Amino acid sequence: MTCPYLDYRDADGEQEFDHDRPYCQIQESFVSPMEADLCNDRHDFDHEADCAVFQRHHLDADQLVPGLELQDAD
């Protein structure tokens, strides 16, 4: 499964490219073709398990869940 935050864009502001480039919507920046292998879960990569950006984003989201009692973990 492809990461839901992966996008492909053919321009960066005013600069247009001759082909679409992989773009991470969390980092708000383009990623390298090698990183895009991870984003696309190619070569046994798993974006949920292997991408620190994805993991950090969801950790932050969990901490912002209303009513979540982090002290109750014990």
Let me know: does 39 contact 51? Beta carbons within 8 Å.
yes
Closest CA to 4 of 24, 20, 21: 24
Q: By CB under 6 A, tell whether 3 contacts ligand SF4.
A: yes
The contact pattern for ligand SF4, residues 17-56, with x = CB under 6 A and - = no contact, is -------x-xx---x---x--xx-------x---x-xx--
Binding site for ligand SF4 (CB under 6 A): 3, 5-6, 24, 26-27, 31, 35, 38-39, 47, 51, 53-54
